[in-house]
Amino acid sequence: MSKINLLPWREELRKVHNRIFYAILGGSVAVGISLVVLVSMFVGRRIEVQTANIDYIDKELLSVKGEITEIQGLQTNKTQLLERMGVIGSLQMDRFTIVRLLDLLPRIVPDGIYLTEVIRKEDDTSLAMPALQGGTEKVATTVRKQYGISVRGVALTNGSISNFLKNLGEVKWIKGVKLNEVSINKGKESEGLNFQVEFNQIVGA
C-alpha cells in the first residue's frame, strides 16, 4: 500500500489562512484608522464652525454694548439738556415774576402809604396744585414754585394798611397775606405807622 504525505498541503493551507487573517486584520486596522480620521475631521470642522459662531456672537455683543453705551450717553445728554432748559425757563419766569410784582405794587398801594423796602426770597415750600385729569380732579405731579415777599413801609393811618391788605388779597397769584408788624414812626420829618406785610407770590398762577 502506498503512503501519501499530507504535511505540505496542510502547511500551505495554514499559510493561506494566516494570509487571510492578516489581510482582514490589516483591513480592519485601516478601516478603524480611516474612521478615526474622519471622525476627527468632522469634530474639528464642527469645532471650527462653533468657534466662528462664538467669535461672531462676541463681535455682535461688543457692537450692542457700544450701542447701549451710546444710548446711555444720549440719555445723559438729554437729561442735562432738559435740566439746562429747566434752568433757563426758571430764570425767564423769575424775570417775569419780579416785573409782574413791581408792576402790581404801585397800582394797589392806596393813598397814605409809601413803601420803603421790598424783599423777595425763594420759598422752600412748594404748592401741589390740582389738575383736571379724566374728568376727575387729581393732585398733579408737578408743583408750582412760590416766592416769599416781605414789604415794609410807612402808613398815615390803620385804614390805609387795611386797604393795602385787602388789595393784596384780591390778587389771584398772591396768597397768605399777613401783617407782621405795626409800630409808631416818630421821625423828625414825619409821623405815621411803620408796618411789615408778608405774602407769597405763586409762579404760574
Angle between helical axes of 158-169 and 7-108 (0-180°, round to 10): 150
**pLDDT tens, residue by residue, 152-177:** 999 988 999 999 999 999 999 999 99
> What integer is the mean pLDDT of 118-131?
59
DSSP, residue by residue, 138-177: EEEEEEE-EEEEEEEEEESSHHHHHHHHHHHHT-TTEEEE
Q: State the CATH class of domain 111-202.
A: alpha beta
Q: Look at the pTM and tell me if it is higher than 0.75.
A: no
pLDDT of residue 190: 60
| 13, 17, 19, 33, 182 from 27: Cα distances, Å | 21, 15, 12, 10, 123
Question: Going by C-beta distance under 8 Å and a sequence separation of 6 or more, which residues neighbour residue 199?
Answer: 149, 151, 168, 174, 175, 176, 177, 178
Domain residue ranges of the chain, discontinuous segments joined by + = 1-108, 111-202
Q: Could you tell me if 151 and 117 are in contact, meaning their C-beta atoms sit under 8 angstroms apart?
A: yes
Mean pLDDT for all residues in the chain: 79
Q: Is the pLDDT of residue 187 over 70?
A: no
> What integer is the mean pLDDT of 115-139?
57
Q: Could you tell me if 205 and 144 are in contact, meaning their C-beta atoms sit under 8 angstroms apart?
A: yes
pLDDT of residue 77: 84
pLDDT of residue 123: 58
Q: Is the pLDDT of residue 149 over 60?
A: yes
pLDDT of residue 66: 84
**pLDDT tens, residue by residue, 34-73:** 888 888 888 888 888 888 888 888 888 888 888 888 888 8
Half-sphere exposure of 103 (CA within 13 A, CB side): 7
Q: Is the pLDDT of residue 125 over 80?
A: no
Q: Which of 191, 105, 108, 112 is nearest to 150 (CA)?
A: 105
> What integer is the mean pLDDT of 126-150?
53
Q: Is the pLDDT of residue 137 over 50?
A: no
* Residues forming beta bridges with residue 195, ordered by sequence position: 153, 182
